[in-house]
Structure formats: C-alpha cells, structure tokens
Amino acid sequence: MKYKIFSNNFFVILLISSIVFCSCNKEERTSFLVSGQIECKVHTPGSTVGGRIIDVFVKEGDLVKKDTTLIQFDCAQQEAMYQSALAGVKRAESLVEKLKKGATEEELRQAENAMKTAEAQYRLLLTGAREEDKQSAKATLESAKSAFEIAKQDYERAERLFNEGAISKKEWEQTKILFEKAKAEYRVAEERHKQLQKGARDEEIEAAKANWERSVAMFDEIKRGPRVEDIRSAESALESARAELSRAETVLKECTVKSPIDGIVESVSVRKGDIVPPGPCIRIVNPDDLEMVIYVPAYILGHISIGQTLNFYTDAHKNETFSGKIIYIASEGEFTPRNLQTQEERIQQVFAVKLSLNSHGGKLRAGMTATVKVR
C-alpha cells in the first residue's frame, strides 16, 4: 500500500512542472531543476468566410510547404464582388485622370455644337417655321406619297405573281422591302408637314428652351474646366473604391486555405462538398519546431530573462544535454492545484516560462518529459 501511494505521488510530481531545489535553505538556492513537457507548435489554418468546399488537396500525414494550397472553397460570389470592386476602381481612376487633364478640344467643340443646335431648335419652335421650310416639307411629302403609291402597286403585283408561281420568293421579298421603306418615308414626311403647318405646342417650346439652357451650362462648365472641389471629391471616391477593392481581395483570398508553415498535416476535419462555417479546418505541425512550458516561483524570476538559454535533459536521453531559449515569461502568477502540492507549495505563486527548441535531429519529440536546470 505504501509503495502504491509513493508511485502515484512520484508520477504526479513528474508530470506537473515540479520544482526540485538543490539546497535545503531557500535563501541560498542558486540552482534548481524544473520539469516540463515538450510540445509541438500546432497551426490551425482555416477560412474567415466559410462556405462550400469544392476541393481538399491534402490528407493526414502529408508533407506540405509553406503557402501550399490545402483547401479550396467555392468563391464565385467573392470573385464577382472582387471584379465589381475592381471595375469601380478603374472608373474612379478614369474620372480623376479626366478631371485633372480637363476637356479635350474635341469635347469642347462637340459641346459648342450641341449648344448651337439646341438654340436653333428652340428659336425655330419659338418663331415658327419659315414659308420656304413649309414649301419644302410639302414637296417632300408629295414626292414620298408618289413613291409610296408606286411601291405599293409593285408590291401587290409581285405578291400576286408569287402566289401564281411566276416569280421567286426572293424577288417578292425584295419588292416587299422597297414597299416598307417607301411607306416609312411617307409617314415621316407626312408628320413633318403636319408639324410645320400647325406650329409647335407650348410644352414643346418649353422643353426646347430647357434643353438649350442645359447645353449652355454644360458648355460653360467644360470650357471653365474642373473645380478643385470636383477633383477632391473624385479623389475621395477613388480612395473609397480602392478600400472596397482591398476588402474584396481579402475576402477572396479567404476562399483558399494555404499552409502557414513547412510541416506535416496532422488532421483534416472537412471533406469535399461540405458546407462549413468560418473557422479552422485543418491542423499542421512542424516536428522540428518545438516548445516547452515550465513553472517557476516568483523569487526565481530574477535569475532568468527573455532570450536566455537554458539546458535540459529528457528521460529518453538522460546522458545528453539539450538547450532551449526563453521566449516568454508570464506577467501574472498562478497557483498550482492544491491537491497536487505540499502545504508549503500551495501558498506559492508560480509563473509560466516558455522555451523554444528544435528537435535536435529528431531526438526530441512532442510528449517527452524534460528536466530543465536553471542557475
């Protein structure tokens, strides 16, 4: 019975970062041993968007290089958002460039011509058509009517001959096309003649006036050139468009899960076709990138510092000394479990200390218990 109790206590003390002091006098302790367990750094890449998985490129045990594609999500929606944002940036860039350059000579000439045409149309409606315009429209109408009647007769004759089998379908279709054209020209001429005879309505005159005023304002704006406020506004819109593109690009990249390190695939928790929420979906470890956490009392903190190298040995290699570098010292202490410590140790606070180490050619593995010596 005594042997069983002793064995259990020894096993617990070995697993829970116990501290073995080299001197019985606490004030004179300058060297001590601390136990800890070697662990492998685990990386859990995943996606922040989730969705349907269209392919899984690795399986458990595969060796992967950094940036290797592991999982591909369906990204049709994200791709569309990215392309839309990209088009928005191009439009904004084009507008800024155009405003800074100002209008070209051709654009200025087109605006001036549009202004003159709008003015002429307005004045024509305002004063009414000239007598010579009315006569010209009447002559055009008579000519169009005559052409229409001839084309109609030709079409009716061709239709009769086609039904009798005297002419081909192609000949009949050509006659029909000429008839439809003459009919349309006759209607246009008739409408123009009626409009010139009765004159423009008040609402048509007002609409023409408004169109002329708009064309004048547009010509003046183009001639004056862009305002500083317009350029600044366009530049601000460009910045917003670029920010939106950056967000869309980030979301699109989340559809492809890549390995953050060179390592071994430890587990894959998804399959092709799965619809998964955002989060990690694969575990990767680097067996050569190890770490170990030990716990030391407060009065030992003065003997250690970040960057310091500590020596240790393992149960599997007791006659060989290895080394690790301190990369983290906890800023807050914690109490060890009461049922695992002596009465003296239960009232002590301990601080976590993390060491970074490599496998030393595969001699060190995750799960091994090591004893660290601190001087």
Q: pLDDT of 72-84, one tens digit each?
A: 999 999 999 999 9
pLDDT at position 199: 60
pLDDT at position 16: 42
* Spatial contact of 140 and 192, defined as CB atoms under 8 Å apart: yes
pLDDT of 24 over the 50 cut: no
pTM, two decimal places: 0.53
* Closest to 52 measured CA to CA, from 267, 251, 255: 255
For the ranges 199-203, 218-222, 254-258, 275-279, the lowest mean pLDDT is seen at 199-203
Question: In the chain, how many H helices and how many E strands?
Answer: 8, 16
pLDDT at position 5: 38
Of these ranges, 95-104, 218-227, 265-274, 339-348, the one predicted with the greatest mean pLDDT is 265-274
Of these ranges, 131-145, 193-207, 233-247, the one predicted with the greatest mean pLDDT is 233-247
Mean per-residue pLDDT of the chain: 83
For the ranges 10-24, 113-127, 149-163, 169-183, the lowest mean pLDDT is seen at 10-24
198 Cβ partners below 8 Å, 6+ apart? Answer: none
H/E stretch holding 308 reads none
Say if strands 51-56 and 46-47 run parallel, antiparallel, or are unpaired. unpaired
Tokens of 107: 């654009």
User: pLDDT of 206-259, one tens digit each?
Assistant: 888 899 889 988 888 777 777 778 889 999 999 999 999 999 999 999 999 999
Residue 22 confidence class, pLDDT cut points 50, 70, 90: very low
Higher pLDDT, residue 196 or 137: 137
pLDDT at position 12: 39
Fold of 2-44+284-374: Elongation Factor Tu (Ef-tu); domain 3 (2.40.30)
For the ranges 268-282, 327-341, 349-363, the lowest mean pLDDT is seen at 327-341
**Mean pLDDT across the stretch 295-315?**
89
pLDDT of 8 over the 50 cut: no
pLDDT at position 299: 81
60 Cβ partners below 8 Å, 6+ apart? Answer: 265, 266, 267, 268
The alpha helices in the chain, defined as continuous H runs, are 2-15, 76-101, 105-127, 131-164, 169-198, 202-224, 228-253, 343-346
Residue 364 CA, chain-centre distance (Å), reads 42
At 166, is the secondary structure helix, strand, or coil?
Answer: coil
Please provide the CATH number assigned to the domain covering 46-73+255-280.
2.40.50.100
pLDDT at position 338: 47
Domain residue ranges in the chain: 2-44+284-374, 46-73+255-280, 98-235
Residue 30 confidence class, pLDDT cut points 50, 70, 90: low
Residue 113 confidence class, pLDDT cut points 50, 70, 90: confident
